[in-house]
Amino acid sequence: MISDAADPQGPPPSLTAATSLRLERRLLERPGIPFTILLIEDDPTVRALVRRYLTQDGYMVVEAEDGQAGLEMLQEYAGRIDLVLTDIDMPRIDGITVAGILAALRPLLGVVCMSGTTNRWEPREALGALDPQRFLAKPFTPERLAHVLTDELARVQKLAEAAESSHCVSRELADEQRLMFAVDVVASGLRLQGRHATPARAPREVLHA
């Protein structure tokens, strides 16, 4: 169940806060392309309500009714999915398993879990690396949802930038190593050529002078 009531854990449901979140998220977006969220929720009523919140906030939404369908959707979807918002307690494959699989195989894909049965699921223990800031306890407000998703998208972007920076540094080091190797080869060749060079001979007329 999701509530429109104020959530003491999230920002106040004010127009200013909502506008700030939207502006912050736009800074992370690719120009002209909204973020796409895969929504995995087995309750059709909750899924429809969350989808409405997401689309009203400018997200593209792809849906799946459980974890197995969600993982299949990730493989089959032709476009780009930026974040997975998944319920935890679901049939077939639950949200914790989905989060674990994505952490191992798609570490640059945002993941946020949600659950209305927090007495059964302890986020820090059950989700491991998925910290409480990436967990939504039902009921939650649209503002709380927007806040958590914005934070997660920002976290993933920082990871992507760090990975790209590391890749560039590695590539530059590899290029430098190749260049130094080429220099060593040329230098070795010059030294070898110098050792085997034919001694210069005096002109014949000088020898017989």
Give the pLDDT score at 141: 93
Q: Which residues contact 142 (CB under 8 A, 6 or more apart)?
A: 4, 13, 18, 53, 56, 57
Residue stretches of the chain with pLDDT short of 50:
4-27, 129, 202, 206-207, 209
Q: DSSP secondary structure string, 47-103?
A: HHHHHHHHHHTT-EEEEESSHHHHHHHHHH-SS---EEEEESS-SSS-HHHHHHHHH
| Angle between helix 15-28 and 142-195 (nearest 10) | 20
Give the pLDDT score at 190: 57
Cβ contact 109:81 at 8 Å: yes
Give the pLDDT score at 23: 42
**How do residues 177-196 score in pLDDT, each as one tens digit?**
555 555 555 555 555 555 55
Q: How far apart are the first and last CA of the chain?
A: 113
Give the pLDDT score at 158: 87
Q: What is the CATH number of domain 15-162?
A: 3.40.50.2300
Give the pLDDT score at 53: 95
Domain boundaries, the chain: 15-162
